[in-house]
Amino acid sequence: MNLTQRYRYLYKPLVFAAALVPLLWWTCAAFGLFGLSLGADPVKKLEHACGKTALNLLMITLSVTPVRSLTGLPQLLRLRRMLGLFAFFYAVVHFTIYLVLDLELNFRLLGADIAKRPYITIGFTALVLLVPLALTSTNGMMRRLGARWQRLHRLIYPIAALAVWHFYWQVKRDVREPLLYLGILALLLGYRLLRWQRLPADAHPRAAAPGALTSRSGSATAPGRT
């Protein structure tokens, strides 16, 4: 047993703990613990930090398959669902802070913002589209939906594009960081398309058996594992 196999059971707990670090940090800052502070506008600071963390985790989730292919570490695939759910979690926290602390639960104002402010329209759309992906992330739903599960979860790419677009419109002035995210997303999508094109014709998702993709060696891969 090599070192990677020996410690494979530690991956999930370590990643789970690491994904909670931002939340712990902001909680300490909100209460002024350990000399931490959220600055002069704590609500905006929290909104921005949660949204950016959600976007970071979304990009990391999309990076799992390419990194796994380059490194040959199948253990990385076991982390993908957890990372995706944490991305959804922080997106929900981001929206909740906006609704509760910024709008003070004024749903009429929320509706007006969604209708009239394009970056909020786009961000809200991305969040709504994330909901069915989070709800169908279990093994049971994967088996129940079969090939439809994979088609549904391909929404992650347009969702990521909407999230980057939301960030781009929200920053208004210095757009270098949103453009960096856009470049990363373009590389990830390009990798996905290139990998799909290199598959034999009978291995493409449309030709594969329901609920599985066929690799070059002819072995079946569970949906969403590509």
Global pTM reads 0.82
> What string of H, E and C letters represents the secondary structure of 63-123?
HHHHHHHHHCCHHHHHHHHHHHHHHHHHHHHHHHHHHHHHCCCCHHHHHHHHHHCHHHHHH
Each residue's pLDDT tens digit, 147-166: 899 889 989 999 999 999 99
Q: What is the pLDDT of residues 11-25, one digit of tens each?
A: 889 999 999 999 999
Residue extents of the structural domains in the chain = 10-193
